[in-house]
Amino acid sequence: MSARARADSAHISPSAHYTGYVWYRHQLSEPAFATGFGRFAHTLLTPLTWGVRELAGLDLENILLQRHLLIDARLTAAIETGGVRQVVEIACGLSPRGRRFCQRYPQLRYLEADLPGMAARKRLLLHSEGWLDSRHRVRDVDILAEQGERSLAALFAELDRNEPVLVITEGLVNYFPLALLEGFWTRLATQLAAFPRGSYLTELYPDLREHPRYRQLRWGIDLVGRLTRGGYWLHYRSTAAIAAAFHGCGFRAVEVIDPDQVSLELPAVAMPSMLRVIEAHTGTLN
């Protein structure tokens, strides 16, 4: 089996249902985003996630909430102080972010994208609720495609090249081996360079072996990989390594954000966080 076949991101969709239900449970989305499968998966996994929290100290639900809220906060700042009026959320799954932010900011254009099956489901959901319009759209994309109608180039062709753009991927990048991931980032940076300013928000779980409970966390993260029917890689050993990788892929400015070091009020976890949110930029617009 080729590396590309092994990295087919179709296996991520079950976790999209689970996280979609988590957002709904915590009043971050409307009922339409909560699927029956997501409710079933959450109920089924509750004893397991409780055990992981008690034995490994890994609070999966609060970590999901931390990353979602921290990305939301950075997006809010980009819109309110950075002049961003067009957003692309890749691997959107059942994220409610596009709906919430289009409601909040009438000037915003929001383009969601995912693999064809998930994109079709999201498109139908938004259309049936009357939320799909010229400002809020859904398109097919394959982040591994280097050309063609599902490539990043085709996706970004719909945007206004005279305006800043911000791209989000949430719950995506740790599913991919490093070479494929950095290939995606390089193609993304190339597309963003065509705009006055291109910004990218994502999250990573780096391989922090000095973490006081690394062995337990490693066990919990391996379990996540098995539950989502694919690998779950921990990339990079330090903040400096993360920044160097993004610079190497073509981003000019990189900030690596530790949830433990921000003033934003986030759901608590019982140990130092392994989560890192990355905000990277191309272009020169202030």
What topology does CATH give the domain 3-283?
Answer: Rossmann fold (3.40.50)
Each residue of 29-38: pLDDT tens digit?
999 999 998 8
Distance CA(48)–CA(50), nearest Å, equals 5
Secondary structure tally for the chain: helices H, strands E: 10, 7
Residue 93's φ and ψ, nearest 5 degrees, are 50, -130
The string of DSSP codes covering 71-84 is HHHHHHHHHHHH--
The structure tokens listed for 246 are: 């993004």
* 8 Å CB contact between 266 and 61: no
**Domain range annotation of the chain:** 3-283
The string of pLDDT tens digits covering residues 123-134 is 999 999 999 999
Model pTM? 0.90
Report whether pLDDT(11) > 50.
no
pLDDT digits (tens, 9 = 90+) for 234-286: 789 899 999 999 999 999 999 999 999 998 888 887 777 888 999 999 976 55
Closest listed residue to residue 168, CA positions, set 149, 143, 196: 143
Residue 186 phi, psi dihedral angles, 5° rounding: -65, -45
Collect contacts of 120-128 with beta carbons under 8 A, ≥24 apart. Answer: 122/92, 122/93, 122/94, 125/32, 125/33, 125/94, 126/98, 126/99, 128/32
